[in-house]
Structure 1
Amino acid sequence: MADNLQDRGPQDRARVNVNEPHEVSYWTRKFGVTPDQLRDAVTDVGVSADAVEQALKSRRGKA
């Protein structure tokens, strides 16, 4: 089956891949953060989208 080029979201929506520009764009829009904030969260908690989301939410609460 051919790839759907219209679907620019991540291949695996349970994992955050900061090595693909279109995925960084997707996740930064989804979470409302900068690319650096996204990368920092992935460095801290790993690639699980749920864990990254929770880390970003907790950081906003501390600001």
Structure 2
Amino acid sequence: MSDNPKITGPQDAKFINLNQEHEVRTWTKSLNTTPEKLREAVEAVGTSVERVKEHLAGQR
């Protein structure tokens, strides 16, 4: 599915969808991280926002 510029936030606030560029932009800004670190975190702990937050916090 292509990136719809009219969509500015995540479709589901509990999960991160790395297949949607607008979600990657939203989550990297929200979590104060880079797209690369976001992708690494999702690969490590899954798509749950809470688990990704915990993972990223442990790396600081």
Q: What is the TM-score normalised by the length of structure 1?
A: 0.83
Q: How many residues align?
A: 56
Shift of 1:7: 4.9
Q: TM-score, normalization: structure 2?
A: 0.87
5+ residue gaps, structure 1, are: none
User: Which residue in 2 is equivalent to 1:18?
Assistant: 18
Relative to its length, the structure with more helix (as a share) is 1
Return the letter of the residue paired with 1:54: E
CA-based RMSD: 1.3
Q: What is the alpha-carbon distance in structure 2 between the residues aligned to residue 32 and residue 11 of structure 1?
A: 19
Instruction: Mark the structure with the bigger radius of gyration.
Output: 1
Structure 2 residue ranges without an equivalent (≥5): none
**Would you identify which runs of 4 or more consecutive aligned residues in structure 1 move more than 4 Å?**
none
